[in-house]
Amino acid sequence: MTHHDRALVLFSGGQDSAACLAWALDRYAHVETVGFDYGQRHGVEMVQRTRVLDQVRSGFPAWAERLGADHRLDLTAFGTIGQTALTSERAFEMDARGLPNTFVPGRNLVFLTWAAALADRRGLGRLVGGMCETDFSGYPDCRRRTLDALQNALNLGMDRDFVIDTPLMHLTKAQTWALTYGLGGQALVDITLEDTHTCYAGERGDRHDWGYGCGVCPACDLRARGWREWEAAGRPALSP
Ligand code: ZN
């Protein structure tokens, strides 16, 4: 097993990172996970991510053998700098750049840098993240161009050869459901529906056809639209 067969998944407990986790478990011999506590509303994500890991372990024995340690890193100090709708009670609005205030400046740069430091210590050669250019709000730190530059900076700065994998980069949200289905069938779709958390408002509340959430925030809206689009297409499976 080389270090490029050992991965660290940035795992928030959301739909996208759950798909990334399955993608990594399907592909690599050893997979660890990292979650960042940066003062998310209500801390729901941190609770749900443990549930998803437990469900994956019990539902997929072959993957359980590959799934290693889960790490939690405290980034609450960063959260106090990047106060936005995601971490406080402010309403959703757009700024002068045309970015929604759910954008936490530099968040993925910080997350990936911390993840790389952890991966260095753990002998993990791959960082896997759910960043996506296709379907979201145009967050500049989700673009592949940004991640290529960061990968280069991390490798120069740590004298490593990390690879940042972004399996969802060019997928729509409907295609992410299709990938989930292709990787783990209905069992993985069920875990995603029941236990992953995407809602910005931190609400579990009502069970919708697409899972739990407030149903009105941008993240719920995107998740719901992706689900309906996937269902309308006849629930296709996307091969990893
Ligand atoms: Zn919501």
Q: What is the token pair recorded at 96?
A: 């002068």
* pLDDT value of position 176: 96
pLDDT of residue 40: 65
In the three-class reduction of DSSP (H, G, I as helix; E, B as strand; rest coil), residue 48 is classed as helix
CA distance 229 to 227: 5
Number of residues assigned to the chain: 240
Best CA proximity match to 25, nearest among 11, 46, 44: 11
pTM for the whole structure? 0.93
**How remote is the CA of residue 224 from the centroid of ligand 1, in Å?**
10
- Segments in the chain below pLDDT 50: none
Ligand 1 centroid distance, CA of 205 (Å): 10
Q: What is the pLDDT of residue 90?
A: 59
68 CA distance to ligand 1 middle (Å): 31
Interacting residues of 179 by C-beta distance below 8 A, sequence separation 6+: 19, 23, 167, 168, 171, 238, 240
pLDDT of residue 83: 65
Chain position carrying tokens 């779709």: 189
| Interval 20-57: pLDDT, tens | 999 999 999 999 999 998 876 568 888 999 999 999 99
